[in-house]
Structure 1
């Protein structure tokens, strides 16, 4: 059976495609290339350029391929941008997801794995946060993702569609074999931005607020290597195919690093002391959020392989060097 990967030309999606190929499976990619790159998808993978809301296109794809699962990555993902453009985020992340879920139900696709986010939790009162904590998103981004979670819950009760919802914490790093990485030119991910500063591609980086109630006043996040994250999706796919029940699970390592700590590690790994500017807080940023990963490990059998922030940074830095040298 084949797996339809939406957003498969993007950062996480392209790693997912590689993981599926590495495990002997057949990925089919759908991407509108608004932020993804056609070159990120191997030539041997069937690729369709189009939107997840194009139900006719998805019907055609399903008619050509024996698809039993969808892994849905396609979305807008920048919290500050979502605050400035809430309707754009609800359109891309919720309205279009509704069309995709409708297509899945109509084409009798049994399994759906959804790329959700820790942003659904909002400003948590205790860490690590568990899946039993009540969601209270602070941004349209988080709300748009939570709405899609609700849709999956409801549709699953009315159709033969089982799901796993994976709530990502901060994804970073690149494929250890150098086959894929974060290639978006204006990406806002801290580790990517810091690596670009270390390579002289940026004059400095901004730290948004130093007055949070954390160990050093900067925000604390749980960083997970992208390869470990996509292996959680492989585990989720095997779980659903084996008859597993609907599930929501956090994806993180269960420990946090502050912005200052991340910057220091990038400086250590790169050997470059780049400039850092302290600026005002951004709206929508909780002080600290760290994952409880007990459910993803116990229910899906997930085991992290790269739980080392220096390794995460080194893989990201190596990818930035390749981009800078125009090797890809």
Structure 2
């Protein structure tokens, strides 16, 4: 039996694929390559190119590869851009998830790990985000991820008396960074690490957006978690579902402490050996001082831990990005 990773040719999905294989689970990748890369799929891993919106394709792939469960990573992940592209965001993230669930039901696949987001919380005014905090998403992206969680919940209720009721869990996280494999790196034009890397490679100076926040050094504090740790948690969640063990409906994969943007910049200079002083730009509208999540429930159930220091996060991401330039 195998596990399908939707979006398995993307930055996070490709790490999940590698973690599944390392755990002795057979991964199958489904990806339309809208933001993923065929070269991120390891040799020998079955790769189905197509959209999660194509129900016959999804159902056929589930049947053909004897899929036991799905790790649903595919989606449109640009929160800021989702404000100007809400229809596209909902089509990919809401309708896409509905189609995946429908295909699973028809093919008799009853287990799913959903790659959700801490964007479901919006901008909470608390020092530490817990799973029971009210959900107030501030973008169509965050809203679409919350609706995705509702779809899983409602489908589980609807199939509760079926021969194979849906079993599910959702993993919420903020900023995924670093690399667990030098052949895979973050190619997003909207994430802090690749933005800084591209600036440094181009000989330009990275920018901090605002340095007058109510934090120790005046810059935003956020959750930064290593992609290999994220991938490992997805695999443990899949294993628990496969074993029939209990899981929570959702888990925060949080750092507990967070890192400031200035701390990230300092680590960038330290690790890359490129001495720079970041420019200070204006605040971005709506940026809160601090958003950090707890990972206590995930540590209890999913072996969740932050195994990488900030320097290791930067080093692994930088080495993978530099390797891509060779």
The bucket for the TM-score relative to the shorter chain is over 0.9
The equivalent of 2:312 in structure 1 is: 311
Q: Is the 8 A contact 1:80 1:284 kept in 2?
A: no
Match of 1:209 in 2: 210
Contact 2:295 2:304 in 1 (8 A): no
Instruction: Report the alpha carbon displacement of residue 113 of structure 1 after superposing the two structures with TM.
Output: 0.4
Change (3 A) 1:283 1:82: farther
Alignment partner, residue 278 of structure 1:
280
Name the CA distance, whole Å, in 2 between partners of 1:112 and 1:254.
26
Deviation (angstroms), 1:125: 1.7
C-alpha offsets along residues 89-131 of structure 1, whole Å, 9 cap, x if unaligned? Answer: 1111112211111111222211100011111111112121110
Structural RMSD (CA): 1.6
8 A contact 2:183–2:324 mirrored in 1: no
1:125-146 C-alpha deviation (Å, 9 max, x unpaired): 2121110111111111111111
3-state SS of 2:179 partner: coil
Residue 178 of structure 1 corresponds to which residue in structure 2? Answer: 182
1:68 Cα deviation (Å)? 1.2
- Matched with 1:91 is 91
Aligned to 2:78: 78
Query: 1:206–1:88: structure 2 CA closer, same or farther, 3 Å change rule?
Result: farther
Structure 2, unmatched stretches of 5+, are 160-164
Q: Quick one: distance in 1 between partners of 2:295 and 2:278?
A: 32
- Superposed CA deviations along residues 167-205 of structure 1, whole A, max 9, x for unmatched, are 012100001x424222x2x5222122222333x326232
Ranges in structure 1 where 5+ consecutive residues have no aligned partner: none
Query: Contact 2:253–2:304 at 8 Å: present in 1 too?
Result: no
Q: Is the 8 A contact 1:80 1:282 kept in 2?
A: no
Q: TM-score, normalised by structure 2?
A: 0.93
Secondary structure of the residue that 1:212 maps to in structure 2? coil
| Residue 281 of structure 1: how far off its partner (Å) | 2.9
The CA distance in 2 between the partners of 1:85 and 1:215, in whole Å, is: 35
What is residue 162 of structure 2 aligned with on the other side?
Answer: none
**Match of 1:204, SS?**
coil
Aligned mate of 1:192, from 185, 191, 194: 194
Which stretch shifts more, 129-138 or 267-276? Answer: 267-276
In the alignment, what sits opposite 1:295?
A: 297
Q: Is 1:135 equivalent to 2:135 in the alignment?
A: yes
Structure 2 Cα separation of the partners of residues 148 and 112 of structure 1? 12
Whether the 8 Å CA contact 2:62–2:104 is kept in 1: the answer is: no
Aligned equivalent of 2:174, options 169, 173, 184:
169
Aligned pairs for 1:235-250 (under 5 A) are: 235-247=236-248, 248-250=250-252
1:255-274 Cα offsets, whole Å, 9 max, x none, are: 11111111111111112123
Q: Cα deviation per residue 1:236-258 (whole Å; 9 max; x = unaligned)?
A: 01111121335210112211111
What is the aligned residue count? 320
Q: Secondary structure at the match of 2:108?
A: coil
1:18 corresponding residue in structure 2: 18
Normalised TM-score (structure 1): 0.93
